Structure 1
Amino acid sequence: MMGISMEQIPRLRPGFRFQWEPAQNAHVLLYPEGMVRLNGSAGAVLKEVDGQRNVADIVALLEQQFPDAGSLLEDVSDFLKDAEQQHWIVFT
């Protein structure tokens, strides 16, 4: 994929589950082969990935949650590209 369109809808890949893990004190992605501990930014983005919201909706929600951060479009797009390359998410 060259770039991410604002209309694309990310969703977790089948077999992946996003949740808060108290023992890790962090959000994690669980999958059959293991677990990925996410940093705060990654957790905030993936928390909004529900298979219904498109990239534009996710960016808007995060900008409301973190008003001091300014424009998050580039950061969110970069993260979603990385998440796709890591095979955590797919786009519809």
Structure 2
Amino acid sequence: MESSGCEGVMAVVAISSIVAVVALQFHKRLVSDFMKKAESELGGARLSRPKKKVRFAADVIEPSSDNKEYRRRGLRSGRALVGISIKL
């Protein structure tokens, strides 16, 4: 008779463990859904902030419409680097 009592206790432990895990998962899902809803309601105020404006440095060159002048300036600086030779 002892083995049937042990099997009954093991069955009760297994079933209660399963119920506890399911309840925990259900609780996590409820909390997650609640937090998403709260963030969406409260987060709307944060999205209405004005966007930051971008300021470029004074030395930034805006290329002309056909980019010829921009390329010409880039080639000049590239040629200067090619002409340098290092002697040791």
TM-score category, normalised to shorter length:
under 0.3
- TM-score (normalizing by structure 2): 0.20
* Highest RCO, 1 vs 2 (Cα 8 Å, sep ≥ 6): 1
Q: TM-score, normalised by structure 1?
A: 0.19
Quick check: which has more Rg, 1 or 2?
2
- Higher normalized strand content (fraction of residues): 1
